[in-house]
Amino acid sequence: MPKSVLEAIKLGFWDYEPPTVEFGKFDAADAMPGTKDKLAVLAERVREGLPLWHEDDRDDVEDSPPLRKAR
Tens of pLDDT, residues 28-57: 999 998 899 999 999 999 888 888 889 999
Q: What is the pLDDT of residue 37?
A: 95
What span, in angstroms and rounded, lies between the C-alpha atoms of 22 and 7?
A: 21
User: Does 65 fall in a domain?
Assistant: yes
What pLDDT was estimated at residue 9? 87
DSSP assignment, residue 51?
-
Q: Which long-range contacts (CB under 8 A, 24 or more apart) does 36-42 make?
A: none
Q: What mean pLDDT comes out for the span 6-31?
A: 88
Inside any domain, residue 66? yes
- Number of structural domains in the chain: 1
What is the value of pTM for the model shown?
0.71
Structural domain for 57, as ranges: 21-71
Q: What is the mean pLDDT of the chain?
A: 85
